[in-house]
Amino acid sequence: MTITQLYYVLAVAENQNFTKAAEKCFVTQPTLSMQIQKLEDQLDVQIFDRSKKPIELTEVGKKIVTQARNIVNESYRIQDIVDQQKGFIGGEFKLGIIPTIMPTLLPMFLKTFIKKHPKVKLKIEELTTEEIITRIKEGHLDAAIAATPLEDENIKERVLYFEPFVSYIPKGHKLHKNKTIDITELDINDMLLLEDGHCFKDSVLHLCKGLKNHTDDKFQLESGSIETLIKLSNEGLGMTLLPFLHTLDINDSEKENLHYFKEPSPAREVSIIYHKSELKMQIIEALQDVISGIIRGAIAFQNVKIISPLPK
């Protein structure tokens, strides 16, 4: 049994196809198939049910894949040990970021991080929280930036910052005249929300949960981007809530529509998350240091107080 064989098994399990797995591993399909067959012969079990289309794991194959993933991840730790001993912060690092954080956070820290750690080759993807968790567990992401807590025993979290909510209330809305907003004044039935699958929507729903004017009716309108919500709000279709960092670059003509909550302001917790195996910790810590310093400074500059973070 070799690490390479286990790596090939993981590739087939992910792609459910020997040819695609071989392409991902940069080997020929016969080479990959032969190595997996040798492993199956050695173990005297069938890892894959080749009669199914697409290929499926057998019951014992599922258990083997779980253990193989642990072994392959642990094999990477040897290089980590060497890198940490040498004080080396570099190499490829795959980072995921959720959609409601990516457009505002990335421009704030990327240039600074690259300048400070030029040997790190960042590969960044915008992914949903669900996609991020899956990819971290499968070893396809080294870390991610997401709203927390996730309450997943396989995922570790390091808080980067707490991002306050800000109300966006256009002219003509009944709450526009209020200088500050109280949580109890929110009407979920008059609020524009992100579509299902966005953790920011879940945070807003949690914030409004239990309000006397909450109903189970369908919301007036849902959209896929925060920028669209702002435009729709400007058309008089309702108010919305924005993550604080989205308000920093808002047009001057729209700033009068921003209404902060009465202190302490509700906020969401944003963390860098990674697998419990703790691979590439030197890069994770470097990201944490750069991002925390920049963002906390931006939030503190606005003198916004926050309360306990909301669930994702």
Indicate the domain borders of the chain.
3-83, 88-161+269-302, 163-267
The yes-or-no answer to whether 3-83 and 163-267 have a common fold is no
- pLDDT value for 264: 78
- Indicate the class that CATH gives domain 3-83: mainly alpha
| Long-range contacts of the stretch 99-104 (C-beta < 8 A, 24+) | 99/126, 99/128, 99/198, 99/225, 100/147, 100/194, 100/198, 100/199, 100/200, 100/226, 100/243, 101/145, 101/146, 101/147, 101/243, 101/245, 101/270, 102/126, 103/246, 104/243, 104/245, 104/246, 104/248, 104/249
Cα atoms in the Cβ-side hemisphere of radius 13 Å centred on 310: 20
Helix (H, G, I), strand (E, B) or coil at 278: coil
- Give Cα separations from 25 to 30, 109, 165, 292 (angstroms): 12, 32, 44, 36
Contact, 29 vs 15, CB < 8 A? Answer: no
pLDDT tens, residue order, the chain (312 aa): 999 999 999 999 999 999 999 999 999 999 999 999 999 999 999 999 999 888 999 999 999 998 998 888 888 778 778 877 787 788 899 999 998 899 999 999 999 999 999 999 999 999 999 999 999 988 889 999 999 989 899 999 999 988 888 989 998 888 888 888 888 887 777 778 776 556 666 676 666 665 544 444 544 445 567 888 888 888 888 888 888 888 888 888 888 899 988 887 888 889 999 999 888 999 999 999 999 888 877 766 565 555 445 444
- pLDDT tens per residue, range 75-133: 877 877 887 778 778 889 999 999 889 999 999 999 999 999 999 999 999 999 999 99
- What is the rounded CA–CA span in Å between residue 264 and residue 261? 7
Helices 281-301 and 59-86 cross at an angle (nearest 10°) of: 80
- pLDDT value for 45: 95
Beta bridge partners of 121: 92
**What homologous superfamily does CATH list for 163-267?**
Periplasmic binding protein-like II (3.40.190.10)
- pLDDT value for 189: 77
One-letter amino acid of 63:
K
- What is the rounded CA–CA span in Å between residue 279 and residue 119? 17
The first and second tokens of residue 124, run together, are 């960044």
Q: Count CB atoms within 10 A of the CB of residue 55.
A: 18
CATH number, domain 88-161+269-302: 3.40.190.10
The first and second tokens of residue 299, run together, are 């939030």
- pLDDT value for 302: 60
